[in-house]
Every structure is written in structure tokens, then in C-alpha cells.
Amino acid sequence: MNATEKLAAVRSQFPVTKRMVYLDSAFQTPLSTNVRTALEEFYAEGHETAGPKSVWLRRVERTREQVARFLNAAPNEIAFTKNTSEGLNIAANAVPLTAGDNVVLIEGDHPNNAYAWLNLKRKGVEVRFARLADTEVATAATFASYIDERTRVVTLSHVTFHAGQVHELGSIGRLCKERGIYFVVDAMQSVGVVPVDVKALGISVLAAGTHKGLLVPQGLGILYVQDGLTELQPAYLAMSSMARPPADYIARPDDMETRHDACRFEFGNVNLPDLHALSAAIELIESVGVPEIQRHVLALGDRLIGRLDRLGVELVGPRERGQRSHIYVLALPVQKWADHFARNQVRVSPERGGIRISFGMFNTVDDVDRLADVIRDGLKEETSNAMAHVD
Ligand SMILES: Cc1ncc(COP(=O)(O)O)c(C=O)c1O
């Protein structure tokens, strides 16, 4: 199968595409048929056999291997969490920080990352916000003037939810390595859509939920913790975090060594149904491949920008190819336009700067054209309403 055939096969996995123009993958992706099947199979096993837990746990390890390959990490560098916020809070509480240390973020980045670090102000940690316009992408230069000898962490989203920038992580990772700073990345919007190579990008900790580009229902997150960062220790402990969990289930106060792999950050049971779903989702994503998905959404973005230019509608975020991927915020007033899209069965999100369009691997050029036609009709309505007022 060539790339076009593979993408067409993927679209058939998302029945929602028959009912509406779904342009809201940055909010959540609709369920694919194969993910639904994986969930149903899990529930059938639980229903009929009360749960073959050892089989399920073996599958969790297989999913861990898939996630590791997906990020160019090793399985011992992957832990499963509940969502992005949990992963980022794990990082914020694991990094050894003392009063007077500082952490640098981007102003206006996702609040779930900001709050994880702002919470450390109670310990005397300073949180600095680097300024960046919505049309710009962050590079090492964005952070350089905010960093000093007490900077311990630089953290940002890979792809922003509010303007769609794809930040240039490579140079930031190199800067952090040179300066001995931990580099923590929120990959919620990028993973599954934009290639993420944690080694090439020099990432220390990466956190993401799985309900957008990874196609799984809410409630599961992935956490990468670079091997060897043993000074990063978990704030929460359970038996599953321990290097030598007691076989008799009696806690040993004299043996508190935690595991050396990323599983020291997992505590208690994990989200087994979603982990089954994640395995199926990664298979579906890999049937096309993330580089091809990125090429596809970028091409949809090119077409969208062309149509918007003709309509005179501006983007809130960047236009250049290297700075965007699948998220485009249109400078259209939300109050006026949200209803118009809903009435026309076009699913989008209100965003702080306008209306957010986000592509998934199942979207097509026809979806973009339909969107553009709906915008054109809305603009015409606006004009004729304005004329009626003048009359
Ligand atoms: C950049 C980013 N981070 C985090 C989240 C969500 O955080 P969580 O997975 O904790 O719900 C979102 C959107 O939902 C996001 O766009």
C-alpha cells in the first residue's frame, strides 16, 4: 500500500468521519474501530474470566516496549501515569530543588505544566516565565536570558495547544545539556503526530496523556525518565516503586531503596483497559508511520492556509512550514463563529485567540475544503447582515 492508500484505510477506522467534519484532534481524538475492539476484548476477558491479571500485566510490558520504541527510548525509561499533569507533577517533585533555585517556563503555556512548578514556590523555588509571541517558536535563544547559575529546569510544550507552534526542542535540549539543566517536555499535543526522539532532543523527562495523538480514551499517560537520573526520586511510593518489594507484603522500613528504572514513579495498579487500547492505537499509528502523519497534516495545513488567504482570514500562530504541524487557530471571534461551525456539523474548539482547527491522521483535503466553504458562507452571512443594517 502507498501512503495515500494507508491513510484511506485509516480513515475507515474512524466512523465519526461519516457524520461530521471532525477537526478537533487537539481536544480529543474519536475512537478508532481497532481501539474500540481492543477495549471490548479486554472487557470480555474481565467479564468472562474475572480477569487474567498475569496475562494483562504481560501485555502492559509489551505496550511499554511499543511506547519506548515510539519515543526512541528504552522500556526501562517508560512509566505509565494517569495523564500529562501527573507526569509533570512527578517531574516537579522528583527534581532535587532547594529554595533559591529557579525553573523557566514559557508565559501562557499550558496551565497544567505551569501549576506543577508554581506549586514549588511554597518551597522557595522561583518560577520564571519567558515571553514569546504566538507567531514565534521557542529556541535556545528564547530561554538564554532567563537562565542563570540557579536554573535547574527548563520546561515547555512541544506543540502548543493555543497557537499550534512546534517549538524547536533540539537547540533547547543542547543548551540544557551544556548548562546541566533538566529539560522537561509536555508532549501531549505532539506525540503521535510529530516525531519525538527523546535522545536526539536531549530530553530528561517527557510527559504526555494519550487521548489526542495516541488515540486512547482519557485516563492514561506516558512518562519518559532518562536512564541514569537516579537523583530523581518519587514523591509517592507504593510496593510497585520499590527495588525489593516484600514477598510477604509487609513493608520493610529498613529497605527503602526504590527501583532504578522509570517504574519507581508508578504506584499501584495502572490503567489496564487503556493500556490494551494504547497497544492497538500504536499499531494503527505505525501502519502509517509518524513521519508520514506529520507530512499529511502539514499538507492539510498548507491547503488550509491557501484557502484562508483567499478568504482573508488570519492565523493566530505561525505560517511557516517548519514551525507548525496540525493545530491552526483562526482569528475569528469565538462568540460569533462557534455556533456557525456546530450548525454545519464541523467540530472545532474555541480557543483564546479564536477558533481552533486541529487535524488527525484521518482528515482529508475534502475536510479542509468543506471547512473553507463553511467559513465562506459564514463570511457572506456576516456581510449580508451588515448590509441589512445599513439598509
Ligand atoms: C499541552 C497540553 N498539556 C496538557 C494537556 C492536558 O493535560 P492532562 O493530560 O493532564 O489532562 C493538554 C490538553 O488537554 C495540552 O494541550
Q: Give CA–CA dist 373/369, Å, rounded.
A: 6
Distance 42 CA to ligand 1 centre (A): 26
Q: Which is it for strands 346-347 and 349-351: parallel, antiparallel or unpaired? A: unpaired
Smallest CA separation from ligand 1 atom 6, residue: 84
Q: Measured from the CB, is residue 155 less than 6 Å from ligand 1?
A: no
Distance 112 CA to ligand 1 centre (A): 7
Q: Measured from the CB, is residue 186 less than 6 Å from ligand 1?
A: yes
Q: Measured from the CB, is residue 189 less than 6 Å from ligand 1?
A: yes
Q: Measured from the CB, is residue 142 less than 6 Å from ligand 1?
A: no
Distance 386 CA to ligand 1 centre (A): 39
Locate the ligand 1 atom nearest the alpha carbon of residue 157 and give its number.
1
Locate the ligand 1 atom nearest the alpha carbon of residue 86 and give its number.
10
For 3-30+289-390, CATH number out of 1.10.1030.10, 3.20.20.140, 3.90.1150.10, 1.10.1240.10 equals 3.90.1150.10
Q: Measured from the CB, is residue 29 less than 6 Å from ligand 1?
A: no
Q: Give CA–CA dist 56/62, Å, rounded.
A: 10
Smallest CA separation from ligand 1 atom 16, residue: 161
Per-residue model confidence as pLDDT tens digits over 9-61: 999 999 999 999 999 999 999 999 999 999 999 999 999 998 899 999 999 99
Q: Measured from the CB, is residue 83 less than 6 Å from ligand 1?
A: yes
Smallest CA separation from ligand 1 atom 12, residue: 188
The CA-to-CA distance between both ends of the chain, in Å, stands at: 58
Q: Measured from the CB, is residue 209 less than 6 Å from ligand 1?
A: yes
Smallest CA separation from ligand 1 atom 7, residue: 84
Locate the ligand 1 atom nearest the alpha carbon of residue 221 and give its number.
9
Distance 349 CA to ligand 1 centre (A): 14
Q: Measured from the CB, is residue 110 less than 6 Å from ligand 1?
A: yes
3-state secondary structure the chain: CCHHHHHHHHHCCCHHHHCCEECECCCCCCCCHHHHHHHHHHHHHHHHHCCCHHHHHHHHHHHHHHHHHHHCCCHHHEEEECCHHHHHHHHHHHCCCCCCCEEEEECCCCHHHHHHHHHHHHHCCEEEEECCCCCCCCCHHHHHCCCCCCEEEEEEECECCCCCEECCHHHHHHHHHHHCCEEEEECCCCCCCCCCCCCCCCCCEEEEECCCCCCCCCCCEEEEECCCCCCCCCCCCCHHHECCCCCCCCCCCCCCCECCCHHHHCCCCCCHHHHHHHHHHHHHHHHHCHHHHHHHHHHHHHHHHHHHHHHCCCECCCCCHHHECCEEEECCCHHHHHHHHHHCCEECEEECCEEEEECCCCCCHHHHHHHHHHHHHHHHHHHHHHHHHHC
Ligand 1 test: best mutation among 84, 349, 358, most atoms within 8 Å of CB? 84
Q: Tens of pLDDT along the chain (391 residues)?
A: 899 999 999 999 999 999 999 999 999 999 999 999 999 999 999 999 988 999 999 999 999 999 999 999 999 999 999 999 999 999 999 999 999 999 999 999 999 999 999 999 999 999 999 999 999 999 999 999 999 999 999 999 999 999 999 999 999 999 999 999 999 999 999 999 999 999 999 999 999 999 999 999 999 999 999 999 999 999 999 999 999 999 999 999 999 999 999 999 999 999 999 999 999 999 999 999 999 999 999 999 999 999 999 999 999 999 999 999 999 999 999 999 999 999 999 999 999 999 999 999 999 999 999 999 999 999 998 888 877 766 6
Contact 75, 61 (CB under 8 A): yes
Fold agreement between 3-30+289-390 and 35-286: no
Q: Measured from the CB, is residue 24 less than 6 Å from ligand 1?
A: no
Distance 253 CA to ligand 1 centre (A): 37
The residues, any chain, with a CB within 8 Å of residue 250's CB and separated by 6 or more, are none
CATH top class, domain 35-286: alpha beta
Q: Give CA–CA dist 84/268, Å, rounded.
A: 18
Q: What are the boundaries of each domain within the chain?
A: 3-30+289-390, 35-286
